[in-house]
Amino acid sequence: MFKPTIKSKCLKHLQGHRRRAIRHKEFFIFKCHLKCRTAPHFHCISCTSTFMRKDGFLKHLAMCENKKPKITVVELKSEENSPAPDLHLTASEEMPVSEGHKSLISEDPQKIRPTKANFEQRMCPKMAVSEETSSPGPTDSEQRSTGEGRIMQVRTDEPSKSPVDEGGPSVVNLSVVDHNVTETTASNSAANPHPIEADVAIQTLVNEMFTGHTPVENTIPQRSRSDAQDLCPFCGLMLHRKNLQVHLRRKHPDQVSNQEKPAPAQVKNPKQQRLPLRQQQKIAMESVIRDVFRHCIRFPVPISASVVADELVDTASDKRCITVLAKWSQCDLERGVKLRFSQRWTLLCKHDTIELVLPSGTSSHIEKELLSCQSPSGTLQAVIREEAGHQYLEVWGQNGLEKSLDLIALNKHGKVYEDAQFACLAWSPCEKKLLYVAEKKRVEPSAQSSIVSASEDGGLVLLEEQDKNVYVEDWGEGLVGKSCPVLCVADLNKAAVIVYAGVPPNISPGQALWGPNGRGIIFVGQWNEPFRLGLKFCSNRRSALFYLDMKGNCECLSPEGVSVSSPRMSPDSCWIVYLQGQVFGPHHQCLSMMLYDIKNRSTSVLVDVVRRAEKGQFAGIYESLHSQCWSADSERIFFSSACENNKAVFSVDRTTGRLTQVCGLDVLRLDDFGSVQLLTIQKDLMVMSCSSPNQPPCLRVGFLSTVDQAEDMQLCNLGGADVYEEFCWQPMLITPTSQEENHQFSGLNFGAILLKPYSPPERRKTPLVVNIHGGPHAHFAADWNATAAALTKLGFAVLMVNYRGSTGFGQDSIESLLGNVGSQDVKDVQRAVLCALQNETTLDPDRVAVMGGSHGGFLACHLVGQYPDFYRACAARNPVINAATLLGTSDIIDWRYSSVGLQYAFDRLPTSQSLASMLEKSPIIHAAQIRAPVLLMLGGRDRRVSPHQGLELYRALKSRNTPVRLLWYSDEGHSLSKVNTQSDCFLNIVLWFKEHLN
């Protein structure tokens, strides 16, 4: 509902109604927005006809203009006992206008009182329902006796109240029949003894989805048989029966053609071919939810950018023409896939100033591309592409495809790695060789007694027949089937591939790059002995920086007993920066930036670990460095990092170590963006992705300033979604109470981000959905989140909590969670919810739901168990339910010990005390107190959190008759990342919350 608070907006709103109105003779006919029809419509002043289309209404007025209108005056006062006015006017008399209301005329003054009662019954459902037991509404005959086609004017002494200011709809069961559902228990609404009230509540929910209003009670006016209406089974639109077939032919020809055409007898009796009303309404609601999610997930997200050309146009004026290539990822719900496409922009520059950005033109679809890399000169593009089970190395130039190698046919190695932990694709300085990482070749045993296979150093060894049954370890969740990576070099002149020997057998190489002058290879080596632990999302695995020369000599460049990642060489090939962290403990942590001097063979700390930061200041490095992060003069390194609830871009001076925030909310005015992500910096041209919770990502580009001053940097908009969604967001910084304080790490704050609609529909309070991230050492940045945006557009407020232990608040915050899972993080989320409810009076404390995945699901189940009367519904994706039983099935068993405050070692065995500690901190001990309905979504191939965790809670709730529903995705892993799975999860979550939040 429009709520005028500013006079100019109110007048603009009224002018919009006037433009859409129809001028008929001396008065205007405005569209009716009441519940007499499901969409805005016109009422004829001479008969009972209503019209949604303007042209049809004008034709009808022309036919009825000779008829004498029957006009009735109805005046409603706020006082219940005030007498009705004594009106004695005829149709020919004129009445003055008083208090801004136009008074109309009635032919028969005796019809005023019945008309008033009829008006209250039809147009004021709240009044009618509240007096339903004492005075029943008029019958059809009474309604017809009051006249037809009236124009009624309402006058009150006080502002009119919405019919939905009080009360709430009945609880209904909207369980969806889904092939992923294991079983559903009877919800609270199943015992509803009033099916008619339930039907009304379902209609209320459908009206909310289509109109944005949330009526509490609904009374359907009586209609004559000639005015009967039907609901369209495809779009949910309410139509006259005589117009239904025309609507189906015009709007849904494909759906109608796919179905069997009804017989003539069936057309005459539409009731025989209609679905049940409840099912039609559920289908209509599902359609709206899918449309909203499709709208929010369709926005492309930039994944990389590069400068592919830099040409001098005018030497005298130093004018240059620079080409920027950006690659995007976009979800296609119709096909259920993630598409990739590229865009090119041409920048006309002068003296490091962008003068003009030429339009990008049409985007190009990127098909089946695994990796790509631009050559140093910018004239060649290397691509590794997978098609029909084969992997090809392609080299593209100005004249098209110049070289193509079938890597599978060469039979030198297995599949090429494309993940973020091992993968690389790098040109040699001479642009004649390409470096990448692939799985070591493994020979399948044949019927012979023995065969040969490549050894660790590239030699040959004998494999006995029984070797086919030997267990082969991999690197866990997201890296299934990846066990023994090897360094591979493709010689383009010889069209051959060389697998480099010399890497120690207990080391798995990855993240490789060419050394100075291409005389060696620098890589990150992961220790794979005594056994492999999960590597994805884990920056605490023992690793080191190595240098391998062409003769096979391997040298370690970093200290022992640390974890390293992201080596990046400076443009002058004199320096290497990389990130370093501790082994074990938090599996994601604050990292230090190390500087390696290639000439002097020395290492120094460039950016140290931040224990805790001042408000709004740099809070540490938490993510990998971009492949192009150096300035052209090799003096500064640029990176993105989380900072409280935001993400900003920082730079560090190589010589002085001075740290500066380059792009962020407090430095550059980036249209109130909450997140700035660095994509590349080449030739001092920086490309960034900017977004916020209500603005999808777009690209900004600008040259670095000569001095590191943000105000000297000018940014230009390249492209992206130019959309501003109609909801608001705000960051929150929360301080724990004294009872919730961690005395070992006192004084720590945590954050949250609140998304909410601008105004709740019909002045009702907004239900709140608490969204909790997994990790637990992860982060909700104030960037575009399709799930949160879709929930907000559907009428929910969303609170995304960065509890203590999240990244972006310093290393002390991360370490404070060790040994306190299930208590400190649970209290932080509950404190954030209470603060949001206290500060925002538009939020409904009686309609709060919680959702989360992995550790977020762990916390969601804890919350509904520890606060059983507070939360009304719960949705958990692959939640940790019992840490003790998860110990032997997770790929990161070290975190099971660290989470409860115990030190981990490879040879550690569980004890009764450690298992008891894990159990005490698990949600399963609170299962008996859970009363909120729980929706579980599990991946059948989850290597990080076994799906049997969710099944354990499912059985516990089933045995206690607690409403629970389980969705099983047999081909999914931990992240449930497939497009169809994301869509199905979102649909079921919204339906679950709609059902149980009333």
Task: Compute CA distances 764 → 654, 761, 837, whole Å.
Answer: 56, 6, 15
Q: Which helix (H) or strand (E) element contains residue 977?
A: none
Question: For residue 535, what are its two tokens?
Answer: 């590597």
Residue type, 271: K
Rounded to an integer, what is the distance from CA 888 to the centroid of its chain? 32
866's torsion region: left (phi>0), alpha (psi -120 to 50) or beta?
A: alpha
Structure tokens at 279: 């099912």
- Phi and psi angles of residue 577, each rounded to the nearest 5 degrees, phi first: -110, 145
Q: What CA–CA distance (Å, rounded) separates 199 from 128?
A: 18
Residues 6+ positions from 172 with CB-CB distance below 8 Å:
189, 192, 198, 201, 202, 205, 995
Concatenated DSSP letters for 76-118? Answer: --SSTTPPPP-----TT-----BTTB-----S-GGGHHHHHHH
The burial of 548, by beta-carbon neighbours within 10 Å (0-12 exposed, 13-18 middle, 19 or more buried), is given as: buried
Does residue 351 have an active-site annotation? no
Q: State the DSSP H helix or E strand holding residue 604, giving kind and residue range, or none if neither.
A: strand 602-607
The whole-angstrom separation of Cα 218 and Cα 126 is: 8
Q: How far apart are CA 248 and CA 258, in angstroms?
A: 12
Number of other CB atoms surrounding residue 372 within 10 Å: 19
Pick from 334, 336, 335, 343: nearest CA to 301: 343
Question: Of these residues, 942, 975, 984, 996, which one is catalytic?
Answer: 942
Distance, in Å, from the CA atom of 816 to the CA atom of 859, rounded to the nearest integer, reads 16
- Nearest alpha-carbon partner for 305 in 726, 702, 771: 702
| Contact yes or no for 979/332 (Cβ under 8 A) | yes
User: Has 854 been annotated as catalytic?
Assistant: yes
Catalytic pick among 558, 854, 922, 946: 854
974 noted as active-site residue? yes
Spatial separation of the C-alpha atoms in residues 7 and 860, rounded to whole Å: 44
- Contact present, 552 and 456 (Cβ < 8 Å): no
Catalytic residue, from 844, 974, 983, 984: name it.
974
Instruction: Give the torsion sign (CA, 344, 348, 350, 353).
Output: negative
Residue 692 region by backbone torsions, left for phi larger than 0, else alpha for psi between -120 and 50, else beta: beta
Supply the residues annotated as catalytic. 854, 942, 974
